[in-house]
Amino acid sequence: MSQKDRQFRPVAVPAVKLSGFWGKWQDAVSETTAEILLDRCEAAGMIKAIDVGQPSPGIVIPIGPWGGSTQMFWDSDLGKSIETIAYSLYRKPNPQLEARADAIIDLYEKLQDEDGYLNAWFQRVQPDRRWTNLRDHHELYCAGHLMEAAVAYFQATGKRKLLDILCRFADYMITVFGHGEGQIPGYCGHEEIELALVKLARVTGERKYLDLSKFFIDERGTEPHFFTEEAHRDGRDVADFHQKTYEYGQAHQPVREQRKVVGHAVRAMYLYSGMADIATEYRDDSLTEALEALWDDLTTKQMYITGGIGPAAANEGFTDYFDLPNDTAYAETCASVGLVFWANRMLGRGPNRRYADIMEQALYNGALPGLARDGKTFFYENPLESTGKHHRWTWHHCPCCPPNIARLVTSIGSYMYAVADDEIAVHLYGESSLRCELVNGADVTLRQVSNYPWEGAVGLEIGLKKPARFALSLRIPEWAAGATLSINGGMLDLETIMTDGYARIERDWQDGDRVALYLPLALRPQFANPRVRQDVGRVALMRGPLVYCVETTDNGADLNAIVVPRDLPSGETVALPGLNGAIAVDLDVEREGTEDWGNGLYRNSRASRKPSKIRLIPYHLWDNREPGEMLVWMQAG
């Protein structure tokens, strides 16, 4: 089998046990966030909304100027919350929480129509509007999130009820969508169902779900345009389309022709995720070609250094190339979660650090900031500079981000490892243990011992009932200059075994074999392409995969007066027990004088500079202490 024909699929969440860095975050979600999600969904009226034993709640959140209500998304919020609970239950049994989830699933069972249809809004609030506005009404989007929940809940608890409900719904969709007589040749304005159907197919082994996913992907953006025809049938004017364009939902071109990342950021990420899954499952090179171009477009012209994407609030999405304002960055948590999804699926056709490095960058710096350290509050927007007025909130009228980051954190194991027939890829590092079975029957345990990302030493121990031949592919991040690798104490020559940024070790493994990887975590300066006008003359600092920032609580006010020296000192690392044991870096810098400036606002001479010291903390931990200013891109001396 050629390299290109390999198919890597993420391992199931229960296959990985986490401790260390991610273990702590998973505890925060399992012990706090998971329950909060249900409480807040319940308080919002979401559970009442699906309970056929109670009167329909009607329109609780008014119809907005876009012709819909965010209440239409409630099924997705419940879906993502159940998915989070599923992963949490695996980590830590919680009978009470499981009972609450079971009760919701029972309600969905009662709600489901005879034909398999399931949607709280279109069954209970606007039953006459079913399948009338796929572009705007998130109908299949909601179905997709319930489908992901069903797969997760089945994997975590072994309970099939929700899975069966969603299979019935998917079977019904297969009759509804298509080019046959009376069928709808359409797709959802907000992508999600595509990647969900792939999960359903993988867990059930049913190819028909893959085919439906591929149908939605193949149809998107073709002419005659479904959104146009649908609007005409529904008596709506195309000129009144929410956000005007077809680009908003990436439906402006057939997906295989798309080369530019446009529109709503979360939608784009979910679409590309589905495309990548289908490319993997069907070994579809035409999709892969489009995906690679889109990947370059996003990561070389439209991505914050945090892996945040979608700078504008107006369309929750993309604007012009190199337009990356720091203080007004939208950079929705969900969009970075979506980028992690996409990157992970780009690894389906083989390990490649081009994708995995960005997956890690977006995970730590784009997605994770969305969750407070205590698991109780959430960021929707993730600016890279704050004057002190941006803080996490407890809930949102469109609460998409809280369960999205929560389900990512609790399922992170499946992003760390992927398995092909005879190969295990380690995409992410962190204290954990994988158990998986290979095609040749080998039952492998892979234990990572590491304080990553705080320290760069990663120990891997192989557990085997009997010796087995397979390849172990370890990502060597592009930033890790000077990385070293040894097996059972013997150094390997990394250069000779590198493929696409992974050290690929194919050998006969013995039980107890030990691999030692060392990734140097020196503080390193990062500069932006000078076409990013907001970052010229500025420098960001990274350590390993983590973007660092300064906050007022450590460094006082007027953070923009800090000047990072041209010759970057190495800094001094300090562990902060109050921040999950995070490694801070204390650095000698200069600081412009704001006190001795004088009276005028402007003057002929520069500000004076004097030596100063700053403390940098990982960006994902900002706004977890006293509120104040925050800054990522500092003045470069």
Strand, helix or coil at 514?
strand
Q: How far is the CB of 354 from its own copies (least distance, A)?
A: 11
Q: Parallel, antiparallel, or unpaired for β 634-636 and 562-564? A: parallel
Between residues 133 and 635, which has the closer beta carbon with respect to its own copies?
A: 635
Computed on alpha carbons and rounded to an integer, the radius of gyration of the chain in Å comes to: 25
Q: Does 93 bind its own copies (CB under 8 A)?
A: no
Residues numbered 225 to 254 that lie near its own copies (CB under 8 A) are: none
C-beta closer to its own copies: residue 514 or 524 = 524
Would you count residue 450 as binding its own copies (CB under 8 A)? no
Write down the least CB distance from residue 325 to its own copies, Å.
Answer: 8
First CA to last CA across the chain, in angstroms? 52
Angle at 478 between CA 477 and CA 484, to 5 degrees: 60
- Of residues 536 and 574, the one with the C-beta less far from its own copies: 536
**Shortest separation between residue 595's beta carbon and its own copies, angstroms:** 10
Residues 273, 389: Cα–Cα separation, whole Å: 34
Measured CA to CA in angstroms, residue 349 lies from 413, 485, 601 at distances of: 19, 25, 57
Beta bridge partners of 460: 448, 515
Task: Please report whether residue 592 would count as binding its own copies according to CB under 8 A.
Answer: yes
Count residues binding its own copies (CB under 8 A): 45
| Contact status: 610 vs its own copies (CB under 8 A) | no
* Minimum gap (Å) between residue 99 Cβ and its own copies: 44
Tell me phi and psi for residue 41, to 5 degrees. -60, -40
Nearer to its own copies, 325 or 430 (CB): 325
Of the candidate spans 335-343, 362-370, 488-496, 598-606, the one that interacts with its own copies by CB under 8 A turns out to be: 598-606
Nearer to its own copies, 79 or 544 (CB): 544
Q: 3-state DSSP call for residue 196?
A: helix
351-410 residues in contact with its own copies (CB under 8 A) are 385, 387
Q: Does 600 bind its own copies (CB under 8 A)?
A: yes
Distance CA 199, CA 212 (A): 12
Local structure of 592: helix, strand or coil:
strand
Q: Is residue 42 within 8 Å of residue 365, measured between CB atoms?
A: no
Backbone angles phi, psi at 142, to 5 degrees: -60, -45
Smallest distance, its own copies to C-beta of residue 10, A: 27
**How many whole angstroms separate alpha carbon 174 and alpha carbon 603?**
70
The closest alpha carbon to 61, from 73, 53, 69, belongs to 69
Q: How far is the CB of 415 from its own copies (least distance, A)?
A: 22
DSSP code at position 363? I
Scanning 49-57, 75-83, 196-204, 592-600 for contacts with its own copies by CB under 8 A, the matching segment is 592-600
Please tell me the distance from the alpha carbon of residue 30 to that of residue 248, in angstroms, as a whole number.
35
Give the one residue of 206, 398, 607, 625 binding its own copies; rule: CB under 8 A. Answer: 607
Q: CB of 339: closest distance to its own copies in angstroms? A: 14
Nearer CB in complex with its own copies: 100/301: 301
Rounded Cα distance, 345 and 347, in Å: 5
98-106, 260-268, 369-377, 587-595 -> range binding its own copies (CB under 8 A): 587-595
CB of 529 to its own copies, least distance (A): 5
Q: How far is the CB of 457 from its own copies (least distance, A)?
A: 23
- Tell whether residue 425 is a contact of its own copies (CB under 8 A): no
Q: Which is nearer to its own copies, 579 or 607 (CB)?
A: 607
Q: Does 54 bind its own copies (CB under 8 A)?
A: no
**What's the rounded Cα separation, in Å, for the pair 308 and 317?**
11
Which residues between 284 and 343 bind its own copies (CB under 8 A)? 296, 299-301, 303, 305, 320, 323, 328
Q: In this complex, which beta carbon is closest to its own copies, that of residue 133 or of residue 326?
A: 326
Amino acid identity, residue 250? Answer: Q
CA angle 168, 173, 179 (to 5 degrees): 150
Which residue's CB is nearer to its own copies, number 2 or number 605?
605
Give the containing element (helix H, strand E) for 404.
helix 401-410
Q: Which of 282, 603, 613, 626 binds its own copies (CB under 8 A)?
A: 603
221: alpha, beta or left? (left if phi > 0; alpha if psi -120 to 50): left
Closest CB to its own copies among residues 298, 503:
298
Among 12, 72, 356, 540, binds its own copies (CB under 8 A): 540
Query: What is the footprint of its own copies within residues 544-563 (CB under 8 A)?
Result: 558-561, 563
**492 Cβ contact list (under 8 Å, min separation 6):** 485, 486, 503, 505
Q: Which is nearer to its own copies, 300 or 570 (CB)?
A: 300
Q: Which of 520, 594, 613, 626 binds its own copies (CB under 8 A)?
A: 594
Residue-wise DSSP of 114-152: TTS---HHHHHT-GGGTTS-TTTS-HHHHHHHHHHHHHH
Q: Does 636 engage in binding with its own copies (CB under 8 A)? A: yes
d(CA 393, CA 381): 11
Among 124, 538, 615, 620, binds its own copies (CB under 8 A): 538
Distances, alpha carbon 432 to alpha carbons 81, 85, 97, 157, 613, in Å: 24, 20, 25, 21, 36
User: If binding is defined by CB under 8 A, does position 605 make contact with its own copies?
Assistant: yes
| Min separation Cβ 583 and its own copies, Å | 20
- Range 498-537, binding its own copies (CB under 8 A): 524-533, 536-537
Q: Which residues are catalytic?
A: 316, 400
Rounded to a whole number, what is the largest CA-CA distance in the chain?
A: 79
Question: Taking the complex as a whole, how short is the minimal distance between the CB of residue 631 and its own copies, in angstroms?
Answer: 8
Residues at the interface with its own copies (CB under 8 A)? 296, 299-301, 303, 305, 320, 323, 328, 385, 387, 524-533, 536-538, 540, 558-561, 563, 592-594, 597, 599-607, 635-636
